[in-house]
Amino acid sequence: MAGAQLFITGGTGFFGTWLLETIAAANDALQVAVGATVLSRDPERFLLRVPHMASRREFEWLRGSPASFPFPATRHDYLLHLATATSADPRHTEPIEMLHTKLTGIHNVLRHARQAGVRRMLVTSSGAVYGPQPAALNRIPETWQGAPDPLNPSSAYGEGKRLVEQMCALTPEVPCVIARCFSFIGPHLPLHGRFAAGNFLRDAMSGGPIVVNGDGTARRSYMHPADLVVWLLKILLHGETRRAYNVGSDQGVSIGDLARQIAGQVGGNLSVEIRGEPDRSGVHSYVPQTDRARDELGLQLTLDLPATLQRTIDWLRTAIDTREPRMATSSLRIPARH
């Protein structure tokens, strides 16, 4: 990958921030001379949030969205489509608008990939493509053929991701590989919004109590973004074309236990309030099986949940103290040369 030029959509979001930090760290430590054109709706806002990136000369900023951007003339070896749109995004108050944004975006990005003649393209999808996880299934494999209910409006996000994957499958001239991403905790995770883990961390860093709006029995699993970036790059470079790989931790934890672990690691006798009534329909899980990534690509989880939480809490404390959130460089893993 040394000397490669990347085109990145969603480069200023949670995934993209970690990818850019990893590229910068690899360039500094290994002189791999990787550059990137980064598509962003508001690059200035990102550079205010992560100001040390403003001096990085390997990144070229392109204003726009996947649905509408000028195709750059720069050569690109790899394309990473990390951009996403959710119904929780204030720009997309209607599921129909969100679906339109997804489809227009992937269509436009695939057109650019064809025109640029990229060697490989990575698309980040979601475990939401599988629909609800059956109670008898501890972990969802890539071969699971469940699906969201198309008549349920809340299925729009998962259905949109399925359509994005289908668009890639229908464009065989672009060597595309899919990363179905699950749940993550780490620096730069939004603390306000739809992510329970981010809300718990916000509550804890504010002195508590940590509020669990459900009954606490739902199961999730969490990967640190330092592992995430290594997995994404490995899948980009070595994943089988038109094949999907689950990305996430396969070690499930209940939402209630997650809140209690955060309280314990932050300290200060924080309380946890479980406000939801018991859900008699059973435990709702969202946990991937990651055997395919392990067996085919040799990928492993290097940071368990306690380590992931501690690194995130330490980073948040530093951000609060300095009022200038920066990447904890000790969390970065620099990928080997390829």
Query: pLDDT, tens digit, for every residue of 222-248?
Result: 999 999 999 999 999 999 999 999 999
Q: Is the pLDDT of residue 278 over 90?
A: no
pTM of the model: 0.92
pLDDT value of position 324: 45
- Provide mean pLDDT across the span 319-327: 54
**Where do the domains of the chain lie, and which CATH numbers do they carry?**
5-331 (3.40.50.720)
**Rounded to an integer, what distance in angstroms lies between the CA atom of residue 135 and that of residue 218?**
11
Query: pLDDT, tens digit, for every residue of 78-104?
Result: 999 998 755 445 444 588 998 999 999
Task: 29-34: list long-range contacts, CB under 8 Å, 24+ apart.
Answer: 29/334, 30/334, 30/337, 32/1, 32/2, 32/3, 32/337, 33/2, 33/3, 33/58, 34/1, 34/2, 34/3, 34/4, 34/5, 34/6, 34/58
**Rounded to an integer, what distance in angstroms lies between the CA atom of residue 180 and that of residue 173?**
21
